[in-house]
Amino acid sequence: MNRPGSIQPPDDLGDARAATDMAWAVQRADRQALGGSGGSARAPAIGALSRRRFLVGAAAAGAGLSLGVLNPRTAAASASATADEVNAWVVIKPDDSVVIRIARSEMGQGTLTGLAQMVAEELDCDWSKVDWEYPSPRQNLLRDRVWRSFATGGSRGIRGSHQYVREGGAAARLMLVEAAAGRWQVSAAECSAANSIITHKPSGRTLTYGAVANDAAKLAPPLEVKLKDPKDWKLIGQPVKRLDTADKLNGKQVFGADIQLPGMLNAAVSACPVFGGARKRFDAAKVAAMPGVKGVVPLDNNAVAVVADTWWRAQKALKALPIEWDFGDGGSLSQADIIARLDEGLTAETPLIGNQSGDARAALESAETLVEATYSYPYLNHATMEPMNATARWTEDFCEVWCPTQNGEAAHAGAAEAAGLPLEQVEVHKVHLGGGFGRRGAPDYVRQAVLIAKQFPGTPVKLLWSREEDMMQGFFHPITKARVRGGLDADGKLEALHLRVSGQSILAGLMPNRLADGVDFATFQGLLPEGDQRISYRVENLLVDHAMRNTHIRPGFWRGVNVNQNAVYMECFLDELAHAAGTDALAFREPLMRSNPRGWAVLQAVAERSGWASRQEDGRHLGLAVFHAFGSDVAACAEVTVEADDALRIKRIVAATDPGFCVNPQQTEAQVEGSFVYGLSALLYGECTVRDGQIEQRNFDTFPSLQISQMPEVETLVMPSGGFWGGVGEPTIAVAAPAVLNAIFAATGKRCREVPLKRSGLKFA
């Protein structure tokens, strides 16, 4: 039995270790499917120095690292950029332009710009001269992980690296000042730096950063750096424009799917539509003579790819290729079986406890009023706009990969394993992502590309999944149901709550070594006793537990992860309790949030801004939700109308977020707005269902996404209270669905407890 006081959420979810674990989990699944050496998958050993590595290493030692040589984005610029790297984070060119290295991946969430702002803040450089580049995972390996984690998930891009990236900027600044002082033969203490200019205060002499960057690069890095007091920040907290917008307006931005290399072939792939199934046989001869076809390649034991001169021809031949599958055990499972399994878990005994205080069961027995409700939340596909893809070129002593990835190091490891080469002989070029949302932390598609390229040594091959393949071969938001019971005392105060989650565990499916005595603490996001995924309320008698009911469907981390359903379960049920108590939903929460002033502040802010107090006299239907997620406190107040013909319109949402420190408020607003599109798409339509073991939805016709006509007006209140670093990309999605569901109740008096709403009888154009 777990003691509540000792419970810790898995804080590093989405970081390198988790992602690397995931890389191996993917392999393990593949190998287990092979029926062979499951469990023996290991990270490729770092072998003896290869000839190739020796050459790169020698260049690095002799002339400074020119990282860009291996990065298509900066290849031209870096050919001459050798000695201008002040440190790992900062490159300054003679013309004073500044290149800031970004280790995390940009997938739309704005992390790239936020991280650059933080380095530039401490560097005191001219922001108008800032550009950026990605270091590669291989360079990170060869330089003892100087950039630390490349993992971009769990809303950790900024909150997980703010300290060391700012230190990188501050150290570079000290070195530049020291170099200028050396040039002038004066004490560095007499010099100041601002806006890329160093000034010797007594004499008024100045030098630009570009003029001394080469000298600075030769200096030993400072042993200690002091970061600015937040009150002195000039760039952090400012709504500066993104650094990566211009190329997204004219077609110049190269995404992974856009990679074009000389002589490149294209591949289309089909994996067994049932997870855990295998390929029985395929008839390559049937497509060998089709135009442009270069080969048919079996992958692992469960997939087959067609390679052709163009992707269209490859995909066309793939569709014509006769393939027989062995669906395996999963092939007999359908949605009703899964629901039955979850229903059984709603009342089963379970030792998996996430949060416990007092005696919830006894208190529920003796409560004056008992309220009970059952909710459900479905499987969901990430459905990034850009389907999975990767380009690889393999030779027997080196493999290069170009791919959109949320975790360069996991992609590197996955590519090396597939290439059969040590990590030093594999390079991964990170390319902009056409969306990530958690899907691109896994390197399954990278492995496939390398396995295909291995069959065409020396020739680059680009693998692109069709939308249909992408829909079927996802890492699905797990399916769960919840039975929630609450006990009110005679005064209508909540005295006991039991929230039972029944359903699938992500960690059990992807990284079972992360379970703690069988408990998947990620399941309890936003419901844990403490930490950055803690519960927002204090309830005297509380029990939150989990009946783990897994299936063969591959689970994954989907924007917001388990806060999506946990916030529906908690926040909609609190609304039900308030209604049962005859109390206003805001007033009902107040006594439960006295030890949570930040959560209360964002909730009050949205209530006030939305006119919560006067809603009844104004005839408006509002719903509230508040949650603590990824270290931040978020709240939303949704306003809906439901017409006589059951037509639902989500008119307006006021959303507040307190991420502690806010690096870029206009990008925070963009993330909040986007969270409603993703979260409400799921609420209205998003559902993946299982028939004969296969995901039924294959494209956007059966898995629709919110359109602009359904987009509510979102007003964002950014309320940074300072003192901590909370996440931004994911927290707000928690409150999207429950705020709207509670508003629907206000409008109709009817509780919708099943997500999505497409079977609710409500209509939405």
Partner 1 sequence: MSKLNINGQTLELDFDADTPLLWVLREQAGLTGTKYGCGIARCGACTVHVDGQPMRSCVVPASAFGPAQAITTIEGLSPDSSHPVQQAWLELDVPQCGYCQSGMIMAASALLDGNPNPTDADIDANMTNICRCGTLQRVRRGIHRAAEIKAQGKTA
Q: Which residues here bind partner 1, judged by CB under 8 A? A: 107-110, 241-242, 244-255, 257-258, 260, 266, 291, 310-313, 316, 382-387, 432-437, 464, 466-467, 666-667, 670, 673-678, 681, 699-701, 704-709, 711, 713-714
Minimum CB–partner distance for residue 248 and partner 1 (Å):
3
Residues 6+ apart with CB under 8 A from 468: 698, 699
Kindly report the number of other CB atoms within 10 A of residue 709's CB atom.
8
Helix axes 16-34, 408-419, angle to 10 degrees: 30
Minimum distance from residue 135 beta carbon to partner 1 (Å): 21
What span, in angstroms and rounded, lies between the C-alpha atoms of 467 and 384? 10
Q: CB 449 → partner 1: shortest distance, Å?
A: 17
For 185, left (φ over 0), alpha (ψ -120 to 50), or beta? left
Instruction: Specify the residue, 127 or 676, whose C-beta has the smaller distance to partner 1.
Output: 676
Cβ atoms of 372 and 485 within 8 Å: the answer is: yes
Task: Decide whether 54 or 312 has the Cβ nearer to partner 1.
Answer: 312
CB-wise, 495 or 669, nearer to partner 1?
669
Is there a contact between 761 and 592 (Cβ–Cβ < 8 Å)? no
89 close to 101: Cβ distance less than 8 angstroms: yes
Looking at the Cβ atoms of 68 and 110, the one nearer to partner 1 is 110
Cβ 195 to partner 1 shortest distance, Å: 23
Cis bond leading into 756, ω under 30°? yes
- In the complex, what is the shortest distance from the CB of residue 468 to partner 1, in angstroms, rounded to a whole number? 8
- Pick between residue 487 and residue 729 the one whose CB is nearest to partner 1: 729
Smallest separation, CB 55 to partner 1 (Å): 32
Distance of closest approach, residue 335 Cβ to partner 1, in angstroms: 23
The residue (of 161 and 681) whose beta carbon lies closer to partner 1 is 681
Q: Closest CB to partner 1 among 135 and 435?
A: 435
- Closer residue to partner 1 in complex, CB, 556/674: 674
> Using CA atoms, how far apart are residues 49 and 724, in angstroms rounded to an integer?
43
Give the strand pairing for 98-101 and 90-92.
antiparallel
> Among 259, 292, 286, 236, which Cα is nearest to 431's?
259
Q: How far is the CB of 541 from partner 1 (least distance, A)?
A: 39
Provide, rounded to whole angstroms, the least separation between the CB of residue 472 and partner 1: 14
Among candidate residues 172, 159, 164, 158, the one with its CA nearest the CA of residue 130: 172
Using CA atoms, how far apart are residues 87 and 90, in angstroms rounded to an integer?
5
Rounded to whole angstroms, how far apart are CA atoms 144 and 752? 53
Q: How many angstroms separate the CA atoms of 324 and 298, rounded?
A: 12
Please name the residue that has the structure tokens 């009817």: 750
Q: Tell the smallest beta-carbon distance from residue 677 to partner 1 (Å).
A: 3
How near is the Cβ of 214 to partner 1 at its closest, in Å?
34
C-alpha distances (whole Å) from 638 to each of 175, 436, 714 are 51, 27, 9
Minimum CB distance to partner 1 smaller for 188 or for 706: 706
Q: How far is CA 719 from CA 598, 638, 659, 662, 668, in A?
A: 10, 18, 7, 8, 11
Cα 414 to Cα 411: distance, rounded to the nearest angstrom = 5
Tell me how far apart the alpha carbons of residues 104 and 165 are, in angstroms, rounded to a whole number.
Answer: 11
The least distance separating partner 1 from the CB of residue 685, rounded to whole angstroms, comes to: 11
Nearer CB in complex with partner 1: 31/313: 313
In the beta sheet, which residues pair with residue 650? 640
The nearer residue to partner 1, 396 or 713, going by C-beta atoms, is: 713
Q: Identify which of residues 316 and 341 has a Cβ nearer to partner 1 in the complex.
A: 316
CA gap 277, 136 in Å, rounded: 35
Task: Say which residue the tokens 């049937």 belong to.
Answer: 286
